[in-house]
Structure 1
């Protein structure tokens, strides 16, 4: 008499399952891809195609752009989505190529620290950027800094 394989499904704990997490990871990648495409192409168009092109990008250009909350939030959204999108892609590569559980855990941890660290540092740069530093060369500052002093 041969043993029949069990047709009973293994019990899955309630709540968030691994399969559900992978489904949402897949959905996240499909949603953020087109959003990032719009954010990045608009960013490139504004920075490179309007005005004097690449020669206009200097401290004053960035200072003038980040004086507007719209561009601060635009750049923050671009930063966060790009890092989460790229981090999720790297997570999938780690899952595919790191065959030892301990190595996978180390690489996932390093990736998480890098993604969170860059998001935090980038956010600080965007929102604490001083367009009119006190000791800066006046020729490098945007024109609205004269009104501040």
Structure 2
């Protein structure tokens, strides 16, 4: 049988030496707070303009979306919302993985997979917003033919 010793809690602790450089955990913590506040503003602004202004929810159709995505203001609004939300979510998933996954290799693999997935979605979403062409593939028998001819 071996005796276990407990640490002396009354003993003075040696001062912790802080590593020089950027504290990434602190940067992530601050990012979550700032992006959370910005996302609340962006999301409620998005919902308000889409659901309450003008004809409200009855105006939501292909033409409404095409008109919004043709406006640079709304393109950048949507891009900012997309980027902030995906990075915010990926950072939250990274925190959960770091808290609950004990194996070093598994944890690194999962964190890597989360950031690759977020990066892929950011790239694809950005391409959709900036490369969106509502008239791409519209033929003369389409209901959008006249609208696209007017452009």
TM bucket, shorter chain: 0.7 to 0.9
1:74-118, Cα deviation, whole Å (9 max, x unpaired): 000000000011111111111111111111111101101110000
Cα distance change on mapping 1:103 and 1:58 into 2, 3 Å: same
Using the size of structure 1 for normalisation, the TM-score is 0.83
Cα distance change on mapping 1:53 and 1:9 into 2, 3 Å: same
Cα distance change on mapping 1:9 and 1:111 into 2, 3 Å: same
Q: CA deviation at 1:51?
A: 2.5
Asked if 1 retains the 8 angstrom alpha-carbon contact of 2:94 and 2:111, the reply is: yes
Moved more, 99-108 or 117-126: 99-108
Asked if 2 retains the 8 angstrom alpha-carbon contact of 1:59 and 1:141, the reply is: no
2:59 matched to 1:59?
A: no
Matching residue of 1:115: 118
Moved more, 29-38 or 50-59: 50-59
Structure 2's unaligned 5+ residue stretches are 1-7
2:139 matched to 1:139?
A: no
Structure 1's unaligned 5+ residue stretches are none
Which whole-Å CA distance do the structure 2 matches of 1:98 and 1:71 have between them? Answer: 39
Which whole-Å CA distance do the structure 1 matches of 2:101 and 2:146 have between them? Answer: 49
Matching residue of 1:21: 24
Which whole-Å CA distance do the structure 2 matches of 1:42 and 1:10 have between them? Answer: 45
Asked if 2 retains the 8 angstrom alpha-carbon contact of 1:32 and 1:81, the reply is: yes
**Equivalent pairs, count:** 141
Asked if 1 retains the 8 angstrom alpha-carbon contact of 2:32 and 2:88, the reply is: yes
Q: CA deviation at 1:49?
A: 1.0
Which whole-Å CA distance do the structure 2 matches of 1:142 and 1:47 have between them? Answer: 25
Asked if 1 retains the 8 angstrom alpha-carbon contact of 2:87 and 2:118, the reply is: yes
Using the size of structure 2 for normalisation, the TM-score is 0.82
